[in-house]
């Protein structure tokens, strides 16, 4: 274990961070995406500092395989763009760079300042950047060249002790960004990190702040839950902490009103997680099936509907509209929700015929008009 020192406002030397060596953190570089390593190396070769940061470092320490590798550097977005031709700058306020390798996208961000709080848009130093991370287990920086983990906030200790501890003070963390409450629930479920009584109480007290969050951000968080393989644990905790009513209000109302439906809904979440484990790449429509199934069951007498000889097209259209409203504010792709609705109806013996493709009108080829000179 090494120590990184710095100076305070008076110029006195103070301990800034603990540095863990490879023998202590046990991160194998062969578990790191080679393209992420290439990005770090090219930034270093260009004279900049660069680290792998956040959830990827946490997962590597725990022993999980990261889904994404985010990189942080002291290079500004314009300089990053010059180094990587296969990149694009995104974001209107705080700009980031996406470096693209085939189908993979790596987010490269510049150290952020705390001069405007934890959601400001100014560039800063690594000492400031760490203070903007949400929880200590996500505030670790990994240097894959020196094979060192830099820990400013006791994140390594919290990972080992399975503790979820905020970096940002509780009085500000959720006011500045309410989505952090959903992330707290997600991290607790996926890493088995325990939330303290004070943190849980603060989340309950702040739950109503989620009503201010845009549907697009809530959709993004719900998609992460559906696609993460821990939907049962996350939603169970979200219900307990009064968050689920803002994430899926119609579903929350349904399960709060009927214990039997709540039990069935939670059982379907277990099936959703089993599906993810058996086939992580399965299409979204098959996952949405488990979210809407219990709701569709309540719409009508499906056994009686299946016995009618009328066209099911109108019935399907009405069911799709009801399901579209049911999943709000989540806004999944239309074709995936259509697939889910048709799959549920099919389980009731109701087959919806595909619409015949419209034949394209053929027009005679236009004659060339020769121009005379």
Q: Are strands 140-143 and 50-53 parallel, antiparallel or unpaired?
A: antiparallel
Would you tell me how many other CB atoms lie within 10 Å of the CB of residue 320? 19
- d(Cα 246, Cα 259) in Å, to the nearest integer? 19
The dihedral formed by the CA atoms of 191, 194, 198 and 202, expressed in degrees to the nearest 10: 40
- d(Cα 271, Cα 291) in Å, to the nearest integer? 10
Task: State yes or no: is 273 an active-site residue.
Answer: no
Task: State yes or no: is 70 an active-site residue.
Answer: yes
List strands edge to edge, sheet with 148-151.
2-7, 13-20, 148-151, 140-143, 50-53, 70-73, 104-110, 96-101, 87-90
Q: Does residue 75 carry a pLDDT above 80?
A: yes
Catalytic hit among 59, 74, 129, 134:
134
- For 139-164, write each residue's pLDDT tens digit: 999 999 999 999 999 999 999 999 99
Burial of 52 (0-12, 13-18, 19+ CB in 10 A): buried
Asked if residue 138 lies in contact with residue 54, where contact means CB atoms within 8 angstroms, the answer is yes
Asked if residue 172 lies in contact with residue 201, where contact means CB atoms within 8 angstroms, the answer is no
Least confident of 111-125, 213-227, 240-254: 111-125
So what's the pLDDT on residue 14?
74
Tokens, residue 94: 């705080």
Catalytic hit among 33, 35, 68, 127:
68
| Residue scoring higher pLDDT (355 or 308) | 308
Q: What are the backbone dihedrals phi and psi of residue 234, each rounded to the nearest 5 degrees, phi first?
A: -70, -50
Would you tell me how many other CB atoms lie within 10 Å of the CB of residue 271? 15
So what's the pLDDT on residue 316?
93
Q: Does residue 245 carry a pLDDT above 80?
A: yes
- For 299-322, write each residue's pLDDT tens digit: 999 988 888 866 788 899 999 999
- For 11-51, write each residue's pLDDT tens digit: 777 778 999 999 999 999 899 999 999 999 999 999 999 99
- For 311-352, write each residue's pLDDT tens digit: 788 899 999 999 999 999 999 999 999 999 999 999 999 988
CA distances from 345 to 112, 266, 292, 303, 340 (A): 50, 20, 11, 11, 9
Asked if residue 57 lies in contact with residue 145, where contact means CB atoms within 8 angstroms, the answer is no
Q: What are the backbone dihedrals phi and psi of residue 215, each rounded to the nearest 5 degrees, phi first?
A: -55, -35
- For 165-202, write each residue's pLDDT tens digit: 999 999 999 999 999 999 999 999 999 999 999 999 99
Indicate the pLDDT class of residue 354, thresholds 50, 70 and 90: low
Task: State yes or no: is 240 an active-site residue.
Answer: no
Secondary structure (DSSP) of 235-268 = HHHHHHTT-HHHHSHHHHHHHHH-HHHHHHHHHH
Catalytic hit among 59, 70, 74, 158:
70
């Amino acid at each position: 274990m090494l120590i990184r020192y710095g100076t305070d406002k008076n110029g006195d030397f103070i301990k800034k961070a603990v540095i863990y060596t490879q023998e202590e953190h046990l991160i194998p570089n062969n578990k790191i995406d080679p393209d992420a390593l290439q990005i770090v190396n090219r930034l270093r070769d260009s004279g900049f500092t660069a680290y792998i940061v956040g959830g990827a470092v946490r997962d590597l320490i725990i022993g999980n395989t990261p889904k994404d590798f985010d990189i942080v550097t002291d290079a500004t977005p314009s300089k990053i763009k010059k180094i990587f031709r296969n990149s694009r700058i995104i974001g209107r306020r705080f700009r980031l760079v996406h470096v693209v390798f085939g189908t993979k996208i790596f987010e490269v961000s510049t150290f952020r300042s705390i001069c405007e709080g934890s959601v400001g848009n100014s560039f800063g130093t690594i000492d400031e950047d760490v203070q903007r991370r949400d929880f200590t287990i996500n505030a670790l920086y990994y240097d894959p060249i020196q094979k060192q983990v830099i820990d400013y906030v006791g994140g390594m200790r919290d990972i080992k002790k399975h503790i979820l501890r905020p970096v940002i003070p509780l009085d500000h963390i959720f006011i500045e960004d309410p989505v952090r409450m959903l992330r707290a629930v997600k991290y607790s479920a996926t890493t088995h990190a325990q939330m303290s009584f004070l943190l849980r109480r603060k989340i309950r007290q702040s739950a109503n702040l989620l009503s201010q969050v845009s549907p697009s951000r809530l959709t993004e968080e719900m998609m992460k839950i559906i696609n993460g393989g821990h939907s049962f644990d996350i939603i169970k905790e979200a219900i307990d902490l009064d968050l689920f009513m803002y994430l899926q209000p119609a579903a929350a109302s349904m399960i709060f009103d009927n214990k039997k439906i709540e039990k069935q809904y939670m059982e379907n979440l277990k099936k959703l997680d089993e599906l993810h484990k058996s086939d992580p790449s399965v299409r979204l429509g098959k996952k949405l099936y488990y979210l809407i199934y219990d709701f569709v069951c309540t719409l009508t007498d499906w056994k009686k509907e299946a016995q009618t000889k009328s066209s099911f097209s109108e019935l399907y259209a009405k069911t799709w509209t009801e399901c579209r409203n049911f999943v709000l504010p989540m806004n999944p792709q239309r074709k995936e929700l259509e697939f889910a609705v048709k799959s549920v109806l099919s389980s009731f013996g109701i087959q919806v015929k595909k619409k015949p493709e419209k034949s394209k009108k053929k027009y005679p080829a236009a004659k060339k008009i020769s121009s005379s000179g």
